[in-house]
Amino acid sequence: MATLDVNRPMTTEEKKVIFASSLGTVFEWYDFYLYGSLAAIIAKQFFSGLDEGSAFIFALLAFAAGFIVRPFGAIFFGRLGDMIGRKYTFLVTILIMGLSTFIVGILPNYASIGVAAPVILICLRLLQGLALGGEYGGAATYVAEHAPHDKRGAYTSWIQTTATLGLFLSLMVILGTRTVLGEADFAEWGWRVPFIVSIALLAVSVYIRLSMNESPAFAKMKAEGKTSKAPLSESFGQWKNLKIVILALIGLTAGQAVVWYSGQFYALFFLTQSLKVNGADANIFVAVSLLIGTPFFIVFGALSDKIGRKPIIMLGCLLAVLTYFPVFEALTKAANPALYEAQQKSQVVVTADPAECSFQFNPTGTVKFTSSCDVAKQKLAASSVSYSNVVAPAGTKATIKVGETVINVAVTEEDIAAAKEAAEKKVADAKAATPVDDKAVAAAEASVKALSDPKKSKDAVLTANLSAALKAAGYPAKADPARVDSVKVVLILTYLVILVTMVYGPIAAMLVEMFPTRIRYTSMSLPYHIGNGWFGGLLPTTAFAIVAQTGDMYNGLWYPIIVAGMTFVIGMLFIKETKDVDIYEHD
């Protein structure tokens, strides 16, 4: 068993424990992220043949599989881990994850086996979600129970790097395959290769994990017959444990999750979707910041062994609450100063009947918001335009006022006819120009085509009118690369990642220290995956809905700010420091 008060270098056994646990968890994240990174191709291969109703259901299930199902995996595997042992349980989780991933790679597509293909795919994705739910608690518990008392934060912080490393690994394998095979072959069949490669990663993980010993704390408990017969009842059926689980969620993991998602994924979303930065550039900025920030997981994990877990995690949450607004505003100025200037100068007003306006919460991306108010807000939110809302009489269709220009959201047939006539003239002018600009001709012809299609013509007219008005008001369609302050952008993003490392680096140790050995795996896994799967996973969708509702592209930040703020207050008041806890005291 790991001894107390040891101040010595890491032993070979301890290195092996950390390496085995971390490597396996990196591979699990690799498997999990592959799906998201290749989602467009997967959708084409498996979902494109479905009718709209079925597509919606499958989208919902896929969303649920990736996020909602994780806490159930936590419960299932947590219970197993507390009853039969950590080693075998998180061997099972990696087997399930690896095999599911491999099978995705060899699964026939919709064109080959019809609707069975997406059904099986969703089942496999569900298995991945369940496995992920079981992996983290096992890895963290396993490492923590091998660590010396005063190095638990440092040792478990290696696990905390795995999500970021797993993401990069998946991208490297995808691009490597794409480069070797070429785009066409990759889209056709080469996308399967990264999934199939997973079987090799699985073999390595299983080999290493099989050679490991059970956690000494658990082994001792089992030898003494003190393991829990009903970890679920003990964890969640007894108030003295349940209250700690609840506190761990609202006083720790909920805030940690929203800070994690804000720094790791929302920052990228904000750069590309809100600030219109070129995707390639945004990827590089985010990648550099993640790579600079990754070592800080270890730094803060180790620091927490000296000064405590709670101060670092709480400070991370507090800094998020206090600085997200100014930091994201600074990001706008650095990445798209023209947008920032336009937002300061231009007055945009949406006048709409409130009865027509929805809260555009759309986690699966399949809900259609089609009222004139919803369309107006969607278009403005998508263009990162800040606007104010004015109430219109009941039954009135929405209008958008940009400066002095008023645009009717409800486009009439006369509007379409006039726009089509203008577009046809543009085609004629483009063809008559000397020399002929083929791109201009193609663009003009595409415009005529869209205006001739009854399904697209109204949207085409509205988009064209709105774009023209916004352009006149100074809103840029894209971020001008010449005006992007790359250094500042990377610095800001790195700051956001540092906050991530502050809240995430020490948290594995803290969660382990909050619960007794007999119910540790169960009790720590659930708040972690509810926090990260639910609070964190719903961040992008919730943030967008708030932005669309309120007309300010920064207002989406209220979601992580409120949740991190709640965690700060609850954590400060009710969570006790745990770094000096003897995790075997109750064994």
**Within positions 526 to 545, which residues make up the interface with another protein, using CB under 8 A?**
537, 540-541, 544
Q: Are 531 and 253 in contact (CB under 8 A)?
A: yes
Region 100-129 residues binding another protein, contact defined as CB under 8 A: 121-122, 125
Under 8 Å CB-to-CB from 437, ≥6 apart: which residues?
Answer: 430
Strand-by-strand arrangement of the 348-352 sheet: 388-391, 348-352, 399-402, 405-408
CB of 340 to another protein, least distance (A): 16
Helix (H, G, I), strand (E, B) or coil at 354: helix
Tokens found for residue 523: 């009790």
Q: Comparing C-alpha atoms, which of 198, 187, 194 is closest to residue 42? A: 187
CB of 128 to another protein, least distance (A): 11
Closest CB to another protein among 25 and 241? Answer: 25
CB of 279 to another protein, least distance (A): 4
Alpha carbons within 13 angstroms on the beta-carbon side of residue 229 total 1
Closest CB to another protein among 273 and 304? Answer: 273
Q: Are 574 and 316 in contact (CB under 8 A)?
A: no
Closest CB to another protein among 334 and 583? Answer: 334
Region 155-194 residues binding another protein, contact defined as CB under 8 A: 165, 167-168, 171-172, 174-176, 178-179, 183
Region 327-386 residues binding another protein, contact defined as CB under 8 A: 360, 362-368, 378, 381-383
* Binding-site member from 359, 477, 576, 586 for another protein (CB under 8 A): 477
CB of 493 to another protein, least distance (A): 12
Question: How far apart (Å, rounded) are the C-alpha atoms in residues 129 and 135?
Answer: 10
Q: Comparing C-alpha atoms, which of 255, 300, 257, 218 is closest to residue 579? A: 300
Helix (H, G, I), strand (E, B) or coil at 579: coil
Question: How far apart (Å, rounded) are the C-alpha atoms in residues 138 and 145?
Answer: 11
Closest CB to another protein among 183 and 429? Answer: 183
Region 269-298 residues binding another protein, contact defined as CB under 8 A: 269, 272-273, 276-280, 282-284, 286-288, 291, 294-295
CB of 548 to another protein, least distance (A): 7
Closest CB to another protein among 282 and 342? Answer: 282
Question: How far apart (Å, rounded) are the C-alpha atoms in residues 567 and 572?
Answer: 8
Closest CB to another protein among 228 and 384? Answer: 384
CB of 168 to another protein, least distance (A): 4
**402 contributes a contact to another protein by CB under 8 A:** no
* Binding-site member from 27, 35, 218, 521 for another protein (CB under 8 A): 35
CB of 284 to another protein, least distance (A): 6
∠ CA 205-206-212, rounded to 5°:
95
CB of 547 to another protein, least distance (A): 9
**500 contributes a contact to another protein by CB under 8 A:** no
Binding residues for another protein, how many (CB under 8 A)? 73
Closest CB to another protein among 178 and 488? Answer: 178
Region 478-497 residues binding another protein, contact defined as CB under 8 A: 478-479
* Binding-site member from 38, 330, 375, 563 for another protein (CB under 8 A): 38
Region 125-144 residues binding another protein, contact defined as CB under 8 A: 125
CB of 135 to another protein, least distance (A): 15
Q: Comparing C-alpha atoms, which of 360, 372, 349, 365 is closest to residue 462? A: 372
CB of 70 to another protein, least distance (A): 11
Q: Are 502 and 313 in contact (CB under 8 A)?
A: yes
Q: Comparing C-alpha atoms, which of 155, 245, 248, 1 is closest to residue 506? A: 155
**393 contributes a contact to another protein by CB under 8 A:** no
Closest CB to another protein among 36 and 114? Answer: 36
Closest CB to another protein among 46 and 142? Answer: 46
Q: Comparing C-alpha atoms, which of 97, 110, 119 is closest to residue 35? A: 97
Under 8 Å CB-to-CB from 310, ≥6 apart: which residues?
Answer: 510, 571, 575, 576, 577, 578
Helix (H, G, I), strand (E, B) or coil at 349: strand
401 - beta bridge partners? 349, 406
Closest CB to another protein among 104 and 232? Answer: 104
* Binding-site member from 37, 100, 256, 522 for another protein (CB under 8 A): 37
Could you give the angle at which helices 520-529 and 116-144 cross, rounded to 10 degrees? 120
Question: How far apart (Å, rounded) are the C-alpha atoms in residues 515 and 522?
Answer: 9
Stretch that binds another protein, among 93-101, 107-115, 397-405, 476-484 (CB under 8 A): 476-484
Closest CB to another protein among 66 and 516? Answer: 66
Region 413-472 residues binding another protein, contact defined as CB under 8 A: none
Tokens found for residue 49: 């043949």
Region 7-26 residues binding another protein, contact defined as CB under 8 A: none
CB of 179 to another protein, least distance (A): 7
Question: How far apart (Å, rounded) are the C-alpha atoms in residues 490 and 334?
Answer: 10
**323 contributes a contact to another protein by CB under 8 A:** no
Under 8 Å CB-to-CB from 311, ≥6 apart: which residues?
Answer: none
- Locus of tokens 């997967």: 42
Tokens found for residue 81: 């881990």
| Parallel, antiparallel or unpaired: strands 348-352 and 388-391 | parallel
**555 contributes a contact to another protein by CB under 8 A:** no
CB of 288 to another protein, least distance (A): 7
Contact string 192-231 vs another protein (x = CB under 8 A): ----------------------------------------
Question: How far apart (Å, rounded) are the C-alpha atoms in residues 371 and 390?
Answer: 16
Question: How far apart (Å, rounded) are the C-alpha atoms in residues 579 and 303?
Answer: 11
* Binding-site member from 59, 83, 221, 409 for another protein (CB under 8 A): 59
